[in-house]
Structure 1
Amino acid sequence: MVGPAWAAAQQLGQEGIDAAVVNARWIKPLDEEAILDLASVSGRILTVEENVRTGGFGEGVRTLLAENGLAGLPLRSLTLPDQFIEHGAQPLIRGDCGLDAKGIVGAVLELLDQSSGYATYR
């Protein structure tokens, strides 16, 4: 997911929006220090994973934030839907699920528009 996330960050940069991209290859162990540092600097987090939400990376990040007093930090997780996904070309499937650069840019813009103090999980 680094490729689409990087492409989205480049597009956002052209609009004057700085976005950090972190390659979190493994769900466990979480790089807790890096995640908490990014959360404190950015004030919001978007996780993107080619996985279903339940038991995924985004849930781990949400738990980490809650355990460290950051439960109110705006958080959004882009994941695969918890349903059967037709087979097809990876770019097409990612696009259908909002996991391409366009979907990531849209999620970032929505996250930036949110008022702080709550987390959104879709």
Structure 2
Amino acid sequence: MPPTIAIFEEDTAPSPKSAPTVVSASVVEGAVLLVVMLALVGIVEAVAEDKVLVVVVLIVGGTVVGAVVVAVVVVVGLVIVVGEVVVAVVELIGRLSNTETVPEPALIVAISGVSSPH
């Protein structure tokens, strides 16, 4: 039998089957920011129902995306709160204008925030 010569070549490239799945850091950051934004919007909506404005400042790695998320959350919160205040004022004006009698002085004092002399 003639001698068998085996030649082994070193393959430095990883095979496609064994290559680990790498998720881009920006994809992970985007997903985290989306979850955080939805949570903050939920918090702002819950607080806005009590007619109280809470400004939540979030610094996410100093990124532009983080700043945009914060801006969106704050703007959404302000829109919700301003909308609630406008609705409350319109309802109050509607109630006062629909009454046939003059409102009680105590009601006017309470609305204006001045302490009652009584």
Tell me: higher relative CO, structure 1 or 2? Use CA pairs within 8 A at least 6 residues apart.
1
**Which protein is bigger by CA-based radius of gyration?**
2
What's the TM-score once normalised by structure 1's chain length? 0.26
What's the TM-score once normalised by structure 2's chain length? 0.27
